[in-house]
Amino acid sequence: MSENDESNAYWSANVRLIQISLIVWALVSFGFGIILRPMLSGISVGGADLGFWFAQQGSILVFLVLIFFYAWRMNKLDVEHGVEEE
C-alpha cells in the first residue's frame, strides 16, 4: 500500500471515529436530555427523572467516557498505521 493510501486510510478511520463519537454525544445530550425527556420522565434516578438526569449529569459523564474512548482508540489506530508516539 502506498504512503498516500495509508494516510487516507488513517484519516478515514479517524474521521469515522469522530463521527461515531459525535453521534453518540448528540444522542445522549439532545436526544435523551431534551427530545426524549417526556418519555423518560417516569423513570426515577436518584430522586429525579431520567431525562433530567441525562440533561444535568448523564451527558457530561458520557462526554467524559467518550474522551477516554477516543484517546484509547486513537492510540490503537496509531499503532495499526505505524504513526504512534515514541
* pLDDT per position as a tens digit, 71-83: 999 999 999 998 8
Q: Residue 41 — pLDDT band, cuts 50, 70, 90?
A: confident
User: How high does pLDDT run on average in the chain?
Assistant: 89
Look at residue 69 and tell me whether its pLDDT is greater than 90: yes
Query: pTM above 0.75?
Result: yes
Furthest-apart CA pair in the chain: how many Å? 58
Look at residue 2 and tell me whether its pLDDT is greater than 80: no
Rounded distance, CA 86 to CA 83, Å? 9
pLDDT value of position 64: 96
